[in-house]
A and B are shown apart, each in its own frame.
Chain A
Amino acid sequence: MNPVIDVRHLVKHFPLTGGLLGRKIQLLKAVDGVSLAVARGETLGLVGESGSGKSTVGNCILRLIEPDRGDILLAGQSILTLTGQELRRARRRMQMVFQDPQSSLDPRMTVKKIVGYPLEVHGLAASSAEIADRVAHLLQEVGLSSDHLDRYPHEFSGGQRQRIGIARALITEPDFIIFDEPTSALDVSVQAQILNLIKDLQRRHGYAYLFISHDLTVVRHISHRIAVMYLGTLVESATRKELFDHPAHPYTLALLASAPKPNPLLRQELAVLQGDPPSPVQVPPGCRFHPRCPHAMEICRDTEPEQHNISPTGAASPHLVCCHLYREGHRR
């Protein structure tokens, strides 16, 4: 199946300037060669620690940040060369739900305006009555009511606000939606409701999702496939079942081990990672993970690992891992 969104070798380096004349001193390598693709009706979970560049990937795809290199294909067409009117038309088909439902809704706008203005901007509705109609319909779909049309964001709870944010993302009938940690600002009880809403909407409309989160339990709940990001690169990607059943990369293993388990009596060895993630300004040579890796070998210090497909033969979806442990002949 053709992917809805296809990201190829995305690179984004932020120059850090300093000194009197604003010379470029160093590069912050936020995203360093990320490739991913999401098909219709599929959710790709993107996990990683804070600072791993996962939000930058999302912002680059929507061109809120201009990527330095790489390509982004929306339904087979590159969107990096689009400008002005064409870019706005393409954006109708991609939307984003933001992390903080408080600051992603303009406090001076009513719900009707917040959710409805994409229609106004794109000239997709004939009259303000039609806009109100469609907004009311969408509010019901996300679990709010048409009574809420004339309210301001501060009159809602966090969960309700996130529902408004989701309704805004849906109004232009996009094909692809990015969720940037949509539940991390919410109570646990509300998180589950929002996640289920997100899943339901996908089942009904077949959206392609990129779900960005640092929370493995959330990602496990919602994703079909999962990609693990570390310091600007993908270290491992596989289907959900494959990743949780057979995690391969030492970093993924450490992440899984550090996730809280629902049973407190089940004591476990905490495979705690050594140290903090290195600064993306000074990326370690060779494998980026080697200074913290328990299995680091000589080769890891100077040679960047390639991507290896370690899925069992005949599997529909590849299990890709970037690690020297899985060189030819080292297969599990």
Chain B
Amino acid sequence: MAIATLRHHPRFRELGLTVKILGRNPLAVAGGIIITAMILLATFAPLLAPFDPIGISLSDRLKPPSGNHFFGTDEMGRDIFSRVLYGARISMVIGLMVVGIAGGLGTLIGATAGFIGGRIDNFIMRLMDVMLSFPSLVLAMALAAAMGPSLTSAVFAVTVVMIPKFARLVRGEALAVREMPYIAAARVSGAKNGWIILHHVIPNCISTVIVLGTLTLGDTILVAASLSFIGLGAQPPTPEWGAMISVGRKFLMDQWWYATFPGLFILVTVIGFNVLGDALRDVLDPRIRR
């Protein structure tokens, strides 16, 4: 589609309005800048990184930060700055994949449960309650450990853990949407349940899903890093933030830079997503929107 027609597309107009309102909120702008910067760093890591993130150079072991190695080097002489940049890639990909899959499945499950109601609703939601009753990190650890330590099993574990959060939220929204007269109108027009869920229920829940998704991205990155930290996620020499902190912990007394910089990046990224998510919640709430 040509840009000119795209600009006049109704969805695009709504999006423009959202961005405009967000721009008036300083927290949203701060969060947005942090997230954009992280995404850019992650995307262009191969261009920005001065060294190979897994290239060993034993003569440069554990060097403090300098003009050559901005964040110093680790015990194998690898450049920590380059590794942190590549780590941003891994964390972003994990975060987006988990939130995408968990958000999509959770929304579908929650919308179906809330809209259909009755026994199906009861069955699904009790299942979700069971999953929610475990602390998410503990459940993710159990799942990842059962599947064997690897990045894939960490992603799978975190996804499974996040699904109930979305399902429960969307179910609540779907319960409210179900009673709206436009649902009755859709039934009168001959729409089937599946059609109504896809075209009415989910679009009307989507703004809360976006908010939760943004907030969950921070969580996800944290849980994934925690799994790597305890050795259940990314394996060496993968430059994953949590794994780097895990090894760097041993050197914390004498080589402070090793664990500090990956830690700082986790901190800033998680804060960025949380701040942006909070601001989005304010903006997307239709009651205060206009």
Contact = CB atoms under 8 A, between A and B. Distances in A.
Interface in B180-212: 180-182, 184-192, 195, 199-200, 203-204, 206
Given A110-B10, A117-B191, A118-B190, A103 B199 contact: no
Contact of A96 (B185, B192, B290): B185
A91 B185 contact: no
Main SS at interface, chain B = helix
Contacts of B206: 108
Contacts of B10: 110, 150-152
B26 interface: no
A121 B195 contact: yes
Nearest to A105: B182
B67 interface: no
B118 interface: no
B188 to A, nearest CB: 5
Size bracket, chain A contacts: 20 to 34
B74 to A, nearest CB: 50
Contact of A91 (B190, B203, B286): B190
Contact of A106 (B9, B14, B195, B200): B200
A94 interface: yes
Given A104-B181, A107-B204, A117-B199, A152 B189 contact: no
Contacts of A94: 188
Nearest to A100: B181
Contacts of A69: none
Contacts of A107: 204, 286
Interface in B142-167: none
A105 B188 CA distance: 13
22 contacts: A64-B184, A64-B188, A95-B188, A95-B189, A96-B188, A99-B181, A103-B180, A103-B181, A104-B182, A104-B185, A106-B203, A109-B203, A113-B199, A117-B186, A117-B189, A117-B199, A118-B189, A121-B190, A122-B190, A150-B8, A152-B10, A172-B189
Interface of B: 8-10, 14, 180-182, 184-192, 195, 199-200, 203-204, 206, 286, 290
Closest 5 CB pairs of A and B: A88-B190, A104-B181, A118-B189, A108-B203, A106-B182
